[in-house]
Amino acid sequence: MAQNAVIIAHGDLEVTPQVREAIARADLIVAADGGAASAVAHGWWPHLLVGDLDSAPPELQAEVLEHGGRILRYPARKDETDTELAMRAALEWGAEEIVLIGATGDRLDHTLANVLLLALPEAAEVRLTILAGKQRLFLIRDATEICGRPGDLVSLLPIGGDASGIWTTGLEYPLRGETLPLGTPRGVSNVLCEARATVRVEKGLLLAIVTEP
């Protein structure tokens, strides 16, 4: 069983203190195909290498195996992305918290697909976070506490439909039972007034993006 997992995707990777902390706490490191190259470059040997391996050359695969890792190879013609397969592997290993890094980059389609993995139904009971430079992204399904520093930006965006009955504390622009309709940017660039804020949503899903200025 792996309580804390880190998934390294094949996108841009900025090694921040938050990333180092996640790696240090990880019981399981999963590389999604070419993410293995980023992992190995930083001395993070993946326990699992998952994907069709079109971006992980044989010598890299051999290195992973030599350091005790396992390889889960899938055909190139498949319905899932390599990152989704890596997330499903982490869930199968019993991860209760998953941090996804290397999830953003030049491929906007991959970036959006990775962000939407936060809403994977099978992961509803798992703490999922994407770390991308000075930003962290996570999904709010009911209620959560947002920790940071006063002045941090907090954007709340509905996904999958309208989000209604939203109540917040500790934000400069409070919401008091209001609705954020799908497709509108009203929830962008709120601001933390305190070290902790709370957000509660009665119906729908909210994507939270916290940005350090």
Angle at CA of residue 107, ends 101 and 111, nearest 5°: 45
CB atoms inside a 10 Å sphere around CB 184: 12
Residues 144-181: tens digit of each pLDDT: 999 999 999 999 999 999 999 999 999 999 999 999 99
Residues 54 and 104 in one domain: yes
- Which residues sit opposite 98 in a β-bridge? 5, 128
Residues 125 and 176 in one domain: no
**CA 64 to centroid of chain Cα atoms:** 23
| Spatial distance between the Cα atoms of 29 and 39, rounded to a whole number of angstroms | 9
Both tokens of residue 32? 């999604």
Q: Can you give the CATH number for the domain in which 171 is found?
A: 2.60.120.320
- Which residues sit opposite 207 in a β-bridge? 139, 157
- From 112, 133, 154, the end of a domain falls on 133
Task: Kindly tell me if the per-residue pLDDT of 2 is higher than 80.
Answer: no
Residues 70-111: tens digit of each pLDDT: 999 999 999 999 999 999 999 999 999 999 999 999 999 999
- From 73, 98, 133, the end of a domain falls on 133
Mean pLDDT of the chain: 96
Q: Which residues constitute the domain of residue 203?
A: 139-211
- In contact, 5 and 99? CB cutoff 8 Å: yes
User: Residue 130, class by beta-carbon neighbours within 10 Å (0-12 exposed, 13-18 middle, 19+ buried)?
Assistant: buried
Q: Can you give the CATH number for the domain in which 42 is found?
A: 3.40.50.10240
Q: For 17-32, what is the mean pLDDT?
A: 97
Task: Kindly tell me if the per-residue pLDDT of 1 is higher than 90.
Answer: no
Residues 53 and 16 in one domain: yes
- From 133, 166, 192, the end of a domain falls on 133
Q: For 104-131, what is the mean pLDDT?
A: 96
